[in-house]
Chain A
Amino acid sequence: MADLINAFAIAGKAFFGFQAVFFALLAIGLNVHFGYTGLLNFGQIAFAMLGGFGIAISVSLWGLPFWVGVIVGVLAAVVLALLLGLPTLRLRADYLAIVTIATAEGLRLVFRSVSATPVTGGTRGLSAFNRDFIALAPWDTARRYDLLGTTWSGGELWVVTVGWILVALCSLLVWALMRAPWGRVVKAIREDEDAVRSLGKNVYAYKMQALVLGGIFGAFGGMIYAVGTGSAIPDQYQNANTFLAYGALILGGAARVLGPVIGSMLLLFILQFADTGLRSLISNGVIPAELLSATDVAQLRYVLVGIGLMLLLVFRPQGIFGDRREVMLDAR
């Protein structure tokens, strides 16, 4: 029982941890793309990688201040969004999906390649770029702090604080946009582009704006991840993260402002709880070792998440915050 409470506390830390911030920001971006505008971006992680490496390269390679690194990361994400959008947004939705998934994988391979090592650090990546950022913390970052039965380092706490403020600001921005006529146009594009064109709206421009905006959110996510881990390694930015973020979005409810945020927190909680809980059950002998070993747990927890998502889609397709009426509507 004490083990389970302990697992609960550790999962609680994951609930608020910087990884949850990371997925929340990715998923907020995907919510703008997919949930509101209907753009199928399957390479959100590419934006995150550019954000993280924007800081890493600017600070540790070029010796620029941290905030300049943030701007570089955002600009890189904007450029990527424009490059992806220019050829594909005039075409059907599937083309963007193909191009983004290829870009995300291709960009990671380029970043980890030997020829890119002088810039990106290759497979080892870059580190030691978040000192300026950690130094901004108003508390002692060398100390450890006990909160609700979990222990946080001062630096970790600072990253998480800034991260959740960022999530709040991004959510606020999405909320402000989506209640305005701009949001109405974007949602209408999701429903039927041609109808929106026939009403005098420049669909291409709106799709591009949405792609850039969501990409910037993704870049913020990558930045939080980079300062959270203290390093930027290309292989951290596997495209599986994009699909986990989609999972979080659907769990929380697409086209809802808080859907991606709560979805990411819950996703990380469930993953961590399954992990710690199963491990403690194995070490206690509750689950016999021949049935399940501790090394299997890492894979099994994703199986559990997968089953959970399937059950969700069967019994609550709208996610936690969604409107069932809306989801069950015929697409036409």
Chain B
Amino acid sequence: MPADPAPHGAHAAQPDHTGTTGPAAGATRAEPRRVAQTALRDVPWEVGVAKPDPAIVVDHVTRTFGGLTAVSVDHLEIQRGGITGLIGPNGAGKTTLFNLLTGFDQPNTGTWSFDGRDLGKLSPHQVARLGVVRTFQLTKALSRLTVLQNMLLGAQGQTGESFLRALVPGTWRAQEKANTERAMDLLRRFKLDAKKDDFAGSLSGGQRKLLEMARALMSEPKVVMLDEPMAGVNPALTQSLLGHVKDLREEGMTVIFVEHDMDVVRDISDWVVVMAAGKVIAEGAPDSISQNKAVVDAYLGAHHDAPLTEEEEDRFLAEDQAAERARREDVISSEQGRKRRTGR
């Protein structure tokens, strides 16, 4: 069972639902964070390090666009049941890696697997059916479908989605009803239930993010990949989104997310992977990352805060002045050139 359909966790609309899901769910709730964190405690903070219980394993994946190597990852393991943050400067290849992992793009070389199953040649919908579901950086709410229809689309294994059986309502009515109930539970949890009959296109940006996440959960995924879930969302909603992401972990899902806000990353992730120029340059616990030299260099450039010696200072000053002089001469000569041209 990939995920519990009944809502529970910090943002459940009806907290007493946990009673119906049995003691096992309650137990995983009691000490959720520690499961992944404890498992990762003794893992060294090295690139490509083996995890105790990896859900996704990536090996030698490269993707080039012309001469640009967008992704070149030698080895990466994602711990099951934890929240893994994927960070890196713009153009680091985070989204490309997401596209590769979910079948939206095909790599030049490399293999990757989920639960030991090779995902190499699968198309996006096949990957999704295995339980790896993603969201998009630019939210893809299905505008001219209602919120509820958006949700129902996420449900898997619907008999009514086959052409012939769609014509016989008896084959899908009961399933549709069950799916609608589950969708409404999720919508209540994401506080979108009042909007269920509105077109998704009429929602605000933040609500669309919520809807996209809720829709992904309708498919009862094992792995949720969120591409910048907090981008363009106001701070109040960010808190609620964060709560929802934490809930996913508490339901036993593996979460991978791309994010730029370091406070967010530090707050919720159990493990952080840093990419730059297509490579994984560091990984480790959230606290380890801000002290990591490779990471700081990737974000701010090497030597950005190294103290200068006096000679260096003089040299930089001289270079600056030379550059300034050259620039001024350039301006003057171009002005003279213009005068000459206009004078003629």
Contact = CB atoms under 8 A, between A and B. Distances in A.
Interface in B130-177: 133-136, 138, 140-145, 149-150, 152-154, 156, 158, 160-163, 166-167, 169, 172, 176
Interface in A77-113: none
B142 A209 contact: no
A200 B127 CA distance: 7
Contact of A191 (B142, B161, B212): B142
Contacts of A190: 144
B124 A198 contact: yes
Contacts of B142: 187-188, 191-192, 195-196
Nearest to B153: A188
Contacts of B212: 195
B215 interface: yes
Interface string B83-112: 000000000000000000010100000000
A182 B162 contact: yes
A180 interface: yes
Nearest to B150: A188
Interface string B195-210: 0000101100000000
Given A184-B149, A195-B136, A331 B143 contact: yes
Given A184-B153, A326-B199, A195 B140 contact: yes
A199 B199 contact: no
B226 to A, nearest CB: 12
A313 interface: no
B152 A199 contact: no
B134 A330 contact: no
A247 B128 CA distance: 39
B129 interface: yes
A42 B135 CA distance: 33
Given A181-B161, A203-B125, A329-B202, A198 B143 contact: no
B160 A201 contact: no
B202 A202 contact: no
Nearest to A197: B124
Given A195-B136, A197-B128, A200-B219, A180 B144 contact: no
B215 to A, nearest CB: 7
Contacts of B167: 173, 176-177, 180
B125 A180 contact: no
A199 B215 contact: yes
A143 interface: no
Interface in A167-184: 173, 176-177, 180-184
B124 A185 contact: no
B143 A200 contact: no
Q: How big is chain B's contact interface, by range?
A: 35 or more
A3 interface: no
Contacts of B128: 197-200
A290 to B, nearest CB: 51
A188 B158 CA distance: 15
A34 to B, nearest CB: 13
Given A191-B144, A329-B144, A329-B199, A182 B160 contact: yes
A330 to B, nearest CB: 6
Contacts, number: 111
A138 B152 CA distance: 48
A20 B219 CA distance: 44
Contact of B140 (A173, A187, A192): A192
A296 interface: no
B161 A199 contact: no
A181 B149 CA distance: 9
Interface string A183-223: 11101101110111111111100000100000000000000
B52 to A, nearest CB: 29
B162 A194 contact: no
Nearest to A191: B142
B202 to A, nearest CB: 7
A329 B169 CA distance: 30
Contacts of B104: 194, 197-198
A183 B160 CA distance: 9
Contacts of A192: 140, 142
Interface centre among A173, A194, A203 (most CB of B within 10 A): A194
B151 to A, nearest CB: 10
A202 B125 contact: yes
B5 to A, nearest CB: 16
Interface string A50-62: 0000000000000
Interface centre among A197, A199, A203, A332 (most CB of B within 10 A): A199
Question: 6 closest A-B pairs (Cβ-Cβ)?
Answer: A181-B160, A200-B128, A180-B166, A182-B166, A195-B140, A329-B201
Given A181-B176, A201-B153, A332-B201, 17 more contacts: A177-B163, A181-B158, A182-B160, A182-B162, A182-B166, A188-B150, A191-B145, A198-B104, A198-B134, A198-B140, A199-B154, A199-B219, A200-B126, A200-B129, A202-B123, A202-B125, A332-B143
